[in-house]
Structure formats: structure tokens, C-alpha cells
Amino acid sequence: MSTHGAEPITKVSIVVSHGSLEGVYPGLIMANGARMEGMEASLFFTFFGLDAIMEKRMDRLKVATVGNPGMHMPTILGALPGMSAFATSMMQKEMEKLDIPPVREFLEMINDAGGEIYACKASVDMFHLAKKDFCPQVKDIISVGQFYEKSAGGQIIFT
Amino acid sequence: MCSELLRVLHWTVIKYMRKVFEKNGQPPSIRKLTKESGVDTKELYALFPKGPAKKAAKIGGLPKPVGCI
């Protein structure tokens, strides 16, 4: 691809702030993609994004069927019991076809690839969580200041 | 890069990529590579730093993998 002499991106820090399946995957794909391109990559999970790295919740993320215009169905239908589970299983099947791994495996892959995974301190305190609540790939719980320090010289992407 | 510099595992990866390319017309992306070549993610990044699938494809004389995963 022609870059017309522009400086290539060498480092990205990706913030994941949502806990829905469709809110989490873009950040994971971008972080992994960055490593695939030889860029430094780190993930910073904040607010409900923490669900994606919590042992108890990371295997049960769901697609949002309410308040999600992208679903193209009336909100009242999306609110029916089982609708979110149904949409989630549909999406998971499609992702499996594309060889996109489940969240836990994806995080292991990113970690093995040298990507770093952090939890946001303010959110961790707010939800009364601790390091033990997270999957082993989470390197540290860091403040926003530390996040900016670690992001020095790179691009920050908020999802 | 001279071929004698490539160690056994490098060859495992490159040969596997060429095999997939011959079959599918596309080199495999990292996910497929780690699942099927017998070389895991950590090793892959150690063998080919700065973008393993991209680099291995280049050394193997293949186009850059197009997969996102």
C-alpha cells in the first residue's frame, strides 16, 4: 500500500470502554493487527470494558440488542428474553467462520504476541475489583497518568 | 537474508505457508499459522520479529497475507 512517504505508525494504545461483544472485539482485532504489522500494541480496559478481562465475565459477553440501531430491529423485540443470547450465538458462529477466536483465547494470543494488557485503576476501584478478578494476561492495574506515559510516542485509539 | 541463516523452525513456518498458498492461492494469516504449523504464537514472534506472517511470507516469496486475524 502506498503511504506517500508518511511516517508509519509504530505504536498504538487502544482503550476498550464497552463490555458488549461488539464493543470489545474491534479493540482486540486492532491490537492483534498492530502486532501482526510489527507495531507495539497495548490494550487498556476501562469502565464496562473490564468485563472482557474479568475471569467471571469474559466468556459470557453478549451482543447488545437494545439501544443498538445496527441490529435493524425494533427496540421492543431486542428486549425480548433470549434475544441477546440468540444474536450473540449468531455472531459467534460468523466469527468462528472467519477464524476469530473467543475473547479469552484472543487475549492469550495478543499477550503471546507481545501485546500488553492493562486495567484502568479508576474503574477497578469503582467496581471494587482487584488483580485476582482478572485473567492472568492482565499485566497491571494502571492509572490514566501511567497509561499516557506508556503511550508516549504512539497513537491512542478509543473504542 | 541467506538461506543458511534460517533455522529449522523458520523453515517449518515458510514451508507451511508455501503449502497453504499452493492449495488456496493465499498465504495463511497468523491465526491459521499458529493453529496448524506447529509453531505457537510466542515462537512465531520470536522467529520473525516485526510481523511474523508478513515477514515469513516475504522470505517465502509469497504475497502479504490479507487476513485480519
**Contact state of B45 with A29 under an 8 Å Cβ cutoff:** no
List beta partners, residue A43: A14, A117
CB nearest to B69's CB, from A32, A37, A112: A32
- The catalytic residues of B are 68
Q: Number of folded domains in chain B? A: 1
Task: Return the residue matching grid coordinates 484502568.
Answer: A120
pLDDT in tens, B23-67: 999 999 899 999 999 899 999 999 999 999 999 999 999 999 998
CB nearest to A109's CB, from B41, B50, B67: B41
pLDDT at residue number B69:
87
What's the grid cell of residue A92? 459467534
Check CB contact of A29 with chain B, cutoff 8 Å: yes
- Please state the ipTM of this predicted complex: 0.89
- The full length of chain B comes to 69
Closest chain B residue to the Cα of A36, Cα to Cα: B51
Give CA separation, B64 vs A6, A53, A67, A95, B54, in Å: 20, 32, 39, 22, 5
In a domain, B66, yes or no: no
Q: Domain map of chain A by residue range?
A: 12-158
pLDDT in tens, A92-128: 999 999 889 999 999 999 999 999 999 999 999 999 9
Cα maximum dimension of chain B: 31
φ, ψ of residue A110 in degrees (nearest 5): -65, -40
Question: What is the span of the domain harbouring residue B34?
Answer: 3-59
pLDDT at residue number A73:
87
Q: Please tell me the CATH superfamily of domain A12-158, with its number.
A: DsrEFH-like (3.40.1260.10)
In a domain, B64, yes or no: no
pLDDT in tens, A18-64: 999 999 999 999 999 999 999 999 999 999 999 999 999 999 999 99
The domain that holds B44 is classified in CATH as: 1.10.10.370
d(CA A135, CA A58): 9
